[in-house]
């Protein structure tokens, strides 16, 4: 799958057809058709940088790119549905039928406009949320990092864009009957992390997932979390993480799909 940290050149050499996607999304990308320019620029620029240069929404770009390669390689669709839920998912049935009292609405735009970080306020709302209630966050941009944070707490989300506002519904996922230990483990403040490295090991036989994950740890520092897409709960991995001073939170998304969030252990926790 294509991630925001991948180099444009890498993408274009692996999936030449994605050039059409780039050009469709922004005329800025027309330069990429020129082989010389492509060489000069594309090898240095990541998808994220390219999106900001061209003024294209990063998520839209990622989504379109992944959709394009998806068709080509017939790659497992679900990865992208999971990642790109807000743009392609249907509104969950129960959100239409749920009574308004059960929806706890929280407009964070005033907080953001005043220059503050609404994260802690959101987390306290989450904490007080009952299992059958839905938290509705209204924001001026899509709060993508929040998805990962709340996912570790067992929340699914559904996002809609109305005019300039993003409305994000967070609700307890039904398949999320994680055991108590996982819940406790998940109770950690992830607000201090600003980088997420993703790693998909679902196509690898043992012990390669473990190897890939342990190798990746070198890149995980205090500001980074490693998000691993796994096909099972990596029971044997935990002790090895422990040895190296890392911890993991595992969430079962569905059968054969687990998200493992790995982060450096700290001495002081909140």
Q: Min. distance of Cβ 193 from other proteins in angstroms?
A: 15
**Residue number, 109 or 202, with CB nearest to other proteins:** 202
Taking the complex as a whole, the smallest distance from the CB of residue 178 to other proteins amounts, in Å, to 9
Which two three-digit tokens encode residue 178? 């994680």
Part in contact with other proteins (CB under 8 A); list of ranges 27-35, 107-115, 147-155, 213-221? 213-221
Is position 181 an interface residue for other proteins (rule: CB under 8 A)?
yes
Among 188, 196, 199, 262, binds other proteins (CB under 8 A): 188
Q: What number of chain residues touch other proteins (CB under 8 A)?
A: 38
**93 or 255: whose CB is closer to other proteins?**
255
Q: Is 202 in the site for other proteins (CB under 8 A)?
A: yes
Cβ(85)–Cβ(158) below 8 Å:
yes
Examine residue 135 and tell whether it contacts other proteins (CB under 8 A).
no
> Residue from 131, 163, 164, 243 that binds other proteins (CB under 8 A)?
243
Q: Cα separation of 177 and 183, whole Å?
A: 9
The site map against other proteins for 140-179 (x = CB under 8 A) is ---------------------------------------x
Q: Tell which positions 221-240 bind other proteins, by CB under 8 A.
A: 231-233, 235-240
Single residue of 206, 221, 223, 245 touching other proteins by CB under 8 A: 206
81 binds other proteins (CB under 8 A): no
Binding site for other proteins (CB under 8 A): 179-181, 185, 187-188, 202-207, 210-211, 214-218, 231-233, 235-243, 247-248, 255-256, 265, 269-270
């Amino acid at each position: 799958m294509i991630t925001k940290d991948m180099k444009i050149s890498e993408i274009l050499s692996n999936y030449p057809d994605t050039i059409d996607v780039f050009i469709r999304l922004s005329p800025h990308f027309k330069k990429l058709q020129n082989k010389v320019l492509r060489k000069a620029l594309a090898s240095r620029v990541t998808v994220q940088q390219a999106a900001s240069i061209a003024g294209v929404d990063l998520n839209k770009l990622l989504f379109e790119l992944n959709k394009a390669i998806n068709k080509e390689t017939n790659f497992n669709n679900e990865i992208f549905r999971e990642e790109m839920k807000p743009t392609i998912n249907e509104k969950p049935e129960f959100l239409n039928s749920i009574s308004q009292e059960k929806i706890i609405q929280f407009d964070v735009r005033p907080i953001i406009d005043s220059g503050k970080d609404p994260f802690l306020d959101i987390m306290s709302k989450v904490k007080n949320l009952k299992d059958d209630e839905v938290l509705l966050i209204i924001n001026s941009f899509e709060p993508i990092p929040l998805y990962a944070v709340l996912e570790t707490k067992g929340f699914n989300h559904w996002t809609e864009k109305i005019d300039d506002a993003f409305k994000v519904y967070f609700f307890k996922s039904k398949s999320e009957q994680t055991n108590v230990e996982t819940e406790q483990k998940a109770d950690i403040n992830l607000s201090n992390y600003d980088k997420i490295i993703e790693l998909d090991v679902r196509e690898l036989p043992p012990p390669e997932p473990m190897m890939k994950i342990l190798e990746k740890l070198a890149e995980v520092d205090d500001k980074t979390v490693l998000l691993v897409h796994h096909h099972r709960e990596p029971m044997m991995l935990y002790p090895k993480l422990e040895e190296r001073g890392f911890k993991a939170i595992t969430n079962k998304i569905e059968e054969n799909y687990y998200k493992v969030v790995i982060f450096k252990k700290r001495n002081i926790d909140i």
